Amino acid sequence: MRIDIITIFPEIFTPLDVSIVKKAKDKKIIEIKIWNLRDFSKDKHKKVDDRVYGGGKGMVLKCQPIFDAVEKIKKENKDGIVILTSPTGQLFNQQFAKKLTQEKGFIIICGHYEGVDERVKEICDYEISIGDYILTGGELPSMVIVDCVVRLLPGVLPKDAPIYDSFSNYLLDWPCYTRPKNFRGLKVPEILLSGNHKEIEKWRKEKAIEITKEKRPDLYKKYLNQGGENDN
């Protein structure tokens, strides 16, 4: 999968050079290219933003450098879909990430300041929000999207590993423990030490359901709607 990111802060993307995403790059499952939006500015000072029409505070990223950047990148990432990071977009979640794994590639536009000129949306396939809060720029959201999608690509994690992650089946994860069995009087549940894999699986499933019901009734409803407790 080819991933291109357009940003005014290319130096911020070091988290994509460690851990799972780095491994995916090393295995050539993905290729990531970071583009500096200023390189596409036709302004002699490399300005990429301007004042907002209608008055008011704040600057907005201009159409020209973004359109030019996307047109150039599309020559390299021909089938890449274009994603705009935006608080007014569709909410990102695990199911959406799974859907994005089907794409050959994507080109992500990071907004900044007050956002991007509305006309940029004309060249975008998706406008994605990572949550109901405002961040300074689209850099963190784009890394969230990349990390989440890349983990789900075949060959990145051990086979079946993501199936058991929270949200995969609309359930939250079950509780995990490691050594020692007793830490300051806090004990690991006996069942996990029993070696009875069938019973352990049953316990984990029950716990996942219990936790989801308690902490995320909205998710639990979705879990039930998709066949839920009959899927044992």
Ligand X SMILES: C[S@@+](CC[C@H](N)C(=O)[O-])C[C@H]1O[C@@H](n2cnc3c(N)ncnc32)[C@H](O)[C@@H]1O
Q: Which one is catalytic: 31, 38, 68, 87?
A: 87
169 near ligand X, judged by CB under 6 A: no
137 near ligand X, judged by CB under 6 A: yes
182/64 Cα distance (integer angstroms):
62
Identify whether the C-beta of residue 82 lies closer than 8 Å to the C-beta of residue 107. Answer: yes
Instruction: Determine the interface stretch with ligand X among 8-16, 20-28, 74-82, 112-120 (rule: CB under 6 A).
Output: 112-120
Q: Which one is catalytic: 165, 175, 210, 216?
A: 165
Q: Which parts of 64-93 interact with ligand X (CB under 6 A)?
A: 85-88
Which two structure tokens, joined as six digits, stand for 93?
Answer: 């979640």
Q: Which one is catalytic: 2, 49, 139, 151?
A: 151
171/187 Cα distance (integer angstroms):
25
Strand 105-109 and strand 2-7: pairing? parallel
Name the burial class of residue 67, with classes exposed (0-12), middle (13-18) and buried (19+) by CB atoms within 10 angstroms of its CB. Answer: middle
Q: Which of 97, 110, 146, 148 contacts ligand X by CB under 6 A?
A: 110
Q: Which of 65, 80, 141, 162 contacts ligand X by CB under 6 A?
A: 141
* DSSP label at residue 33: E
Q: Which of 129, 148, 167, 220 contacts ligand X by CB under 6 A?
A: 129
Helices (H), the chain: 19-26, 63-76, 94-100, 139-151, 197-215, 217-225
Q: Which of 65, 80, 138, 162 contacts ligand X by CB under 6 A?
A: 138
Kindly compute the dihedral angle of the four CA atoms of residues 205, 209, 215, 216, in this order, to the nearest 10 degrees. Answer: 120
CB of 162 to ligand X, least distance (A): 23
- 65 vs 138, beta carbon nearer ligand X: 138
Please choose, from the candidates 156, 29, 15, 37, the residue with its C-alpha nearest in 3D space to the C-alpha of residue 85. Answer: 37
Identify whether the C-beta of residue 36 lies closer than 8 Å to the C-beta of residue 66. Answer: no
CB of 148 to ligand X, least distance (A): 13
Q: Which of 135, 157, 191, 192 contacts ligand X by CB under 6 A?
A: 135
Confirm whether 151 is a catalytic residue: yes
CB of 64 to ligand X, least distance (A): 17
Q: Which residue is nearest to ligand X (CB)?
A: 111
Query: Helix or strand or coil: residue 127?
Result: strand
Q: Which residues bind ligand X (CB under 6 A)?
A: 85-88, 110-112, 114-116, 129-131, 133-138, 141
Supply the residues annotated as catalytic.
87, 114, 151, 165
